Amino acid sequence: MNRSLYDIPLKSIDGKDTSLGEFQGKVALIVNVASKCGLTPQYEGLEKTYERYQDRDFVVLGFPCNDFGAQEPGSESEIQDFCSSNFGVKFPMFGKLNVNSQPRHPLYAALIEAQPAAEPSSNGGLRDKLAQHKLLPKEDSDVMWNFEKFLISRDGQVIGRFAPDTPPDDPKLLKAIEAALAA
């Protein structure tokens, strides 16, 4: 990766210029999120995981995206209201961005380059369902759907990638988070 994840320009959910720089030194779980997806209830688990580990320098970072089935059509303020009122989300949220569509946001270009394949979920049901409906992404390295998760080490390295249907409390994911926190 030519450029640090911490230097990539981003917008916060309230439209302010920002970056991941303020999270340097923390373990982060970057998740592309959507409000009208069958996986949307994962917000609750993501918030619980954030609360469970935040005192150990862990953070969940939510990136709304409308690339998958147009399941995030709302404005940033609508997204923020939805997340806080329905799921009590307190972890940092960012402005909508393109994950697979062009132009792909530089953050996701860097994440995918660093970790080209997601670890499949234990049931694999989502991949099968997307294939059945001809909704799998064009490239194998593309993000499969909403709620794909990238695990970032304290030094900004992408150390894991988990399929969208891997729930936030999946033992595999929690073990990876705990290993990163212990490193």
Domains of the chain: 5-182 (3.40.30.10)
> How many residues are listed for the chain in this entry?
183
Q: Which residues are catalytic?
A: 37
- Specify the pLDDT at position 3: 58
Alpha-carbon radius of gyration of the chain? 15
- pTM beyond cutoff 0.85: yes
Pair 173, 166: CB distance under 8 Å: yes
C-alpha–C-alpha distance, residues 92 and 87, integer Å: 13
Q: DSSP E strands: which ranges in 91-162?
A: 149-152, 158-162
- Quickly tell me which residue has 């759907």 as its tokens: 145
Q: How many CA atoms lie within 13 A of 8 on its CB side?
A: 20
User: Comparing C-alpha atoms, which of 65, 76, 110, 87 is closest to residue 168?
Assistant: 87
The rounded distance, in Å, linking the Cα atoms of 127 and 14 is: 33
Band of residue 124 on the pLDDT scale cut at 50, 70, 90: confident
- The conformation of residue 120, written as its DSSP 8-state character, comes to P
What is the mean pLDDT of the segment spanning 81-105? Answer: 95
pLDDT at residue 2 above 50? no
